[in-house]
Structure 1
Amino acid sequence: MNEIKIDWNSMAKAYEEFNNAENSYSYCIEWPCIKELLPDLKGKVVVDLGCGTGIFTFLLEKSEPAKIVGIDLSEEMLKIAKEKADADGSKSEFVQHDAATCKEVIEEPVDFIFSSTTSHYIENLKQLFENVAKSLKEGGECIFSVINPVYSAMYPVEHEDSSFPEDDEWNVRYMDKAMRAYIQPWLEYNDDYENHLSKSYHHTFSDYVNAIVGAGLTIEKVCEPMAPEEWKETQIYRYESFVENPVYMIIKMKKA
């Protein structure tokens, strides 16, 4: 079984609790920027690629699409998403599949594809964006919120013996394409998890641009959202960490 899938199955509940907090990065940093870039989704067919527990699926559903489908590799993440959908009367649909080969389950071209912090778990960006392009209608649009390449460059390189990284290993190794292994923020202070490392890839800015352009998509805008100004007063440590190392890079694209 896919190692990343096993990891996400085990973290599903912790991820959902952490990212649904009122001051989560998803709500306070990602979403305000994404909203500014969103096209009109009313009556459109929308896909949330790597939807996880449906955090953004349900936010996108408020724009009244005709249909919205969340796709994710982890059945445990989707189980939580489906439970929330049933409880809230959501019409969102959920499908278990690898985001990298999404065209296999997207039977008809769609109007809009969204993805949040999924791409660094996919080794082959070329395959991912080719599948995205093939899944979009002509004139269709997509928004990918990705882990900023500066930030993913800080993830510690995986140790050969699978041991845990030291704190001083969180430093930028931008051109190092080795596998990364680290403790996720939603597990760092969670007593239910011990000795749990997650793995992901590091993609550079040029990796993203070349994969996107190579797939025939046009980049319309790139944003690197900053933490809310009020965090200067309420959460100065988190605010300053964003000044030093941006966490997200949000890319809006279109299929000509």
Structure 2
Amino acid sequence: MNDNSYDKIAEQYKNSKQLGFRKCIEEYTLLKLTGDIFGKKVLDLACGEGIYTRKIKQLGASTIIGLDLSAEMIKLAEEEERKNPIGCQYLVNDALNLGKIDDFDVVMCMYLLNYARNKEELLQMCEAIYTNLKPNGKLIGFNDNPMNNLKNYANYKEYGFIKESTSTREEGDFVRYVIYNTDGTEFSFNNYYLSPKTYEDCFLASGFKNFQWEGPFLDEKVSDTEYWDVFFNDPPLIGFSAHK
């Protein structure tokens, strides 16, 4: 990947983590998929400013390395580690050219795979992840939902974002997210559409077992569940998991 636009929106993206769906759906789904992480080695790909890298370390991971293409995102993550050191490590690197870093029990991919522009790039990412997992290691992630109906893309503004694409949304077309932060600012970035079958084929071809779409899940502590009806009637985002 050579699109490093996140350098320009790093602070805004960090601030978007205060939106409701980030906490009660995105984070909740990730932690539900993670399970017991105590004592495990974890690689956090597309770690951004490190919010989940730190969360997983605080839950007991023995080692965690956060990796992101954006130098500005990693700068924010390292600043937080300097202010509140808990033992997170960070690297600037491209998941497409990852190579072998180590053998991990768990690899996390929060909004990584939806940056693959075609089947070849997605397969390359899956193979890189597979290479860095121990035997029986687990991949968990959260992604743009390729099963989300195009006609509903504009329906999520009350949750802090909308999605846009071409009128036909063919394989490889952009999926633009426009994010509306609570402070009134807005920003956008592009993901790319690949079909559910393309995802499933790439996981199978790279050697993964038991690939499945997961959730998304709403935090059980949320009382106003009806507020989230539009989101869950056709989820714009989704989790996934697989094993080596």
Same fold (TM over 0.5): yes
Which residue in 2 is equivalent to 1:164? none
Q: Please, what TM-score do these two structures have when normalized by structure 1?
A: 0.79
Select which of 91, 102, 112 maps to 2:106: 112
1:91 aligns with 2:87: yes
String of CA shifts for 1:107-129, please: whole Å, max 9, x gaps: x2221100111211122110000
Select which of 16, 34, 42 maps to 1:38: 34
Q: CA deviation at 1:227?
A: 4.2
String of CA shifts for 1:127-150, please: whole Å, max 9, x gaps: 000111111111111102111113
User: Structure 1 9/153 Cα, relative in aligned 2: closer, same or farther at 3 Å?
Assistant: farther
1:74 aligns with 2:65: no
Which residue in 2 is equivalent to 1:17? 15
Of structures 1 and 2, the one with the larger relative CO (CA 8 A, separation 6+) is 2
CA contact (8 A) 1:178 1:201 kept: yes
Query: What pairs with 1:197-208 in structure 2 (closer than 5 Å)?
Result: 198-208=189-199
1:146 aligns with 2:139: no
CA contact (8 A) 1:14 1:186 kept: no
User: Structure 1 82/152 Cα, relative in aligned 2: closer, same or farther at 3 Å?
Assistant: farther
1:132 aligns with 2:129: yes
Q: Provide the C-alpha distance between the structure 1 equivalents of 2:15 and 2:151, rounded to a whole number of angstroms.
A: 25
Range moving further from structure 2, 181-190 or 50-59 = 181-190
Counterpart of 1:11 in structure 2: which amino acid?
Answer: I
User: Structure 1 152/97 Cα, relative in aligned 2: closer, same or farther at 3 Å?
Assistant: farther
> How many percent identity over aligned positions?
23
User: Structure 1 65/242 Cα, relative in aligned 2: closer, same or farther at 3 Å?
Assistant: same
Q: Provide the C-alpha distance between the structure 2 equivalents of 1:58 and 1:37, rounded to a whole number of angstroms.
A: 16
Secondary structure of 2:148's counterpart equals helix
Counterpart of 1:222 in structure 2: which amino acid?
Answer: W
Q: CA deviation at 1:86?
A: 1.4
Instruction: Extract unaligned runs of 5+ from structure 1.
Output: 157-166
Q: Provide the C-alpha distance between the structure 2 equivalents of 1:52 and 1:12, rounded to a whole number of angstroms.
A: 8
Counterpart of 1:223 in structure 2: which amino acid?
Answer: E
Q: CA deviation at 1:198?
A: 2.6
Q: CA deviation at 1:65?
A: 1.8
CA contact (8 A) 2:165 2:174 kept: no
Alignment RMSD (CA, Å): 2.9
Range moving further from structure 2, 41-50 or 23-32 = 23-32
CA contact (8 A) 1:152 1:203 kept: no
Q: Provide the C-alpha distance between the structure 1 equivalents of 2:173 and 2:151, rounded to a whole number of angstroms.
A: 12
Secondary structure of 2:99's counterpart equals helix
Q: Provide the C-alpha distance between the structure 1 equivalents of 2:151 and 2:79, rounded to a whole number of angstroms.
A: 35
Secondary structure of 1:52's counterpart equals coil
User: Structure 1 64/154 Cα, relative in aligned 2: closer, same or farther at 3 Å?
Assistant: farther
Instruction: Extract unaligned runs of 5+ from structure 2.
Output: 154-161
Between Structure 1 and Structure 2, the one with more strand by share is: 2
Q: CA deviation at 1:32?
A: 1.9
Select which of 212, 232, 238 maps to 1:243: 232
CA contact (8 A) 1:144 1:251 kept: yes
Q: Provide the C-alpha distance between the structure 2 equivalents of 1:141 and 1:183, rounded to a whole number of angstroms.
A: 28
Counterpart of 2:115 in structure 1: which amino acid?
Answer: Y
Q: CA deviation at 1:183?
A: 5.0
Query: What pairs with 1:207-218 in structure 2 (closer than 5 Å)?
Result: 207-218=198-209
Q: Please, what TM-score do these two structures have when normalized by structure 2?
A: 0.82
Which residue in 1 is equivalent to 2:158? none
CA contact (8 A) 2:29 2:216 kept: yes
How many residues align structurally? 231
